[in-house]
Structure 1
Amino acid sequence: MSLELGSELQWTKSSYSSNDSPDCVEVAATPGTVHVRDSKVPTGPQLAVAPTTWARFISYATVTD
């Protein structure tokens, strides 16, 4: 199985996810790609974006008080 299919990726669950929440996100970064998936469906579809795209998304999505 290829790395791009997620077999060797090191997934990290979002700190905003909880065990009883319906919204659980995991992220795995490689040098050229950031992979995102639903932690409840690890064999399901994944989103793969460039690290610069992910950084822009995170800066936009981050909520500050």
Structure 2
Amino acid sequence: MDDLTGAAWRRSTLSGPDGGECVEVATNLPGLVAVRDSKDLFGPSLIFGPGVWSAFVRDIKCGSFEG
């Protein structure tokens, strides 16, 4: 299990102030990127390698997942 102690969680500035239907991302931990549901702060987190996360974000920005 990865240690997420010290994770600095952030969410998109486009998210509303109520925190509904958002994900939070922590990119400050060495060698991993953690993603969690903003409505379940103590629930499970998804863990990715930095390269995989960067590719995912790049593909989103390029529109690769649009129908």
Q: Tell me the SS of whatever aligns to 1:41.
A: coil
Runs (5+) with no aligned partner, structure 1: none
Is the 8 Å Cα contact of residues 19 and 39 (structure 2) preserved in structure 1? Answer: no
* Gapped regions of structure 2 (runs ≥ 5): none
CA RMSD of aligned residues (A): 2.2
Aligned partner of residue 8 in structure 1, secondary structure = coil
Distance 2:22 2:52 in 1: 21
Length-normalised TM-score, structure 2: 0.74
Identity of matched residues, %: 37
Q: How many residues align?
A: 62
Aligned: 1:33 with 2:35: no
Q: Contact 1:34/1:49 (CA < 8 Å) preserved in 2? A: yes
Per the normalisation by structure 1, the TM-score is: 0.76
CA distance in 2, matches of 1:39, 1:53: 21
Q: Is the 8 A contact 2:19 2:38 kept in 1?
A: no
**Is structure 2 residue 5 aligned with structure 1 residue 7?**
yes
Q: Tell whether the 8 Å contact from 2:33 to 2:50 is kept in structure 1 after alignment.
A: yes
Structure 1 stretches of at least 4 aligned residues deviating more than 6 Å after TM superposition: none
Cα offsets for 1:5-49 (capped at 9, x unmatched): 433211011223223464211000112000000111100111000
